Amino acid sequence: MWDQAGFHQKPDTNAVPPQVRLLLFPPYCPELNPIEKLWDIVKDHVGNQVFETLEAIESEITSVLQPFWQQVERVFALLGDNWFTRGVATFMNQRKVVESPA
């Protein structure tokens, strides 16, 4: 998925393998990019602070992200129940049927 934010580089379609398809989001729609909610949480903890070392900021970011690594429910809570998450669930369920041995 590509959110087309103005500060991102444009994808080089020649560098993308043929089996990968880019899904372009309309510009200026952070609500369609679920990672935006997680970045807001991280920025709330590390923004407007001065860290003495790179290791200190990495440690703070790790402490914010670790609950998401350990409890998948927290990730689902970020995503919510909407057309996007239902579509992904449908896709993954269909994929399981195709990939399962007969």
- Mean pLDDT for the chain overall: 80
pLDDT, residue 81, reads: 72
**In terms of pTM, does the model score above 0.85?**
no
Report whether pLDDT(44) > 80.
yes
Collapsing DSSP to helix, strand or coil, 54 comes out as: helix
Residue for token digits 């369609």?
Answer: 32
CB-neighbour burial class of residue 52 (10 A; exposed 0-12, middle 13-18, buried 19+):
exposed
pLDDT single digits (tens) 80-101: 777 777 887 788 788 776 665 5
The larger pLDDT score, comparing residue 102 to residue 16, is at: 16
pLDDT single digits (tens) 16-41: 788 888 777 777 776 677 777 888 89
